[in-house]
Amino acid sequence: MVTAPNGMGGMVSSLGLVLIVTPAIFYWLRERELRKPKEEERSMRHVTAVVTAVVLALGSAGAAWSAEKAIATQKTKEVLVTLKSESGQWKEGKNSFVLEFTSPKDQQPVDAGKVSLNTSMTMPGMAPMIAGATLTPEKSGRYTGTIEFPDRGTRQVTVTWDGPAAVR
């Protein structure tokens, strides 16, 4: 069983803003303040170079942020099951995700056959909230899926499969 946390949205972009953009802007403003007017032309070239570097850094960081991030991973005897999404978490509403089955020995894809993913969230005094995902095989050992949640919360995830790597 795998548990997927919610509620960490925006942390990565906020980190980029705090660590890259804000210092670059502060540096640019402070440098301008300290430079003499006759050095303004040289300073503008320097500022342009700094801003270009920041934009390139953000561009490459943005590409890394858009890569799939693991929500949860669970190892069985024969297979490593990894649940991934673009943000690395599930949120309220419709969620797209990837489910991967790999060999723990060599990280190669493993045929999982027919796969299902269900979630449940228990709340005191209420019946568990259960949601099932729609899964589509993409290639051997990789499935794309969607699931919708009416609210936020931590859910227990159950993945079942019947292929050669199934737990017997």
What is the C-alpha separation between 30 and 24, in angstroms, rounded?
10
- Collect all residues with Cβ–Cβ distance below 8 Å to 146 and sequence separation of at least 6: 94, 95, 96, 97, 133, 134
The predicted-structure confidence for 73-93, as pLDDT tens digits, reads as follows 999 888 999 999 999 988 999
**What pTM did the predictor assign?**
0.57
The predicted-structure confidence for 34-51, as pLDDT tens digits, reads as follows 765 555 555 455 445 445
- Collect all residues with Cβ–Cβ distance below 8 Å to 35 and sequence separation of at least 6: 43
Structure token digits, residue 92? 């309220």
In sequence order, what E strands does 38-168 have? 69-75, 80-85, 93-102, 115-121, 129-132, 134-139, 142-149, 155-161
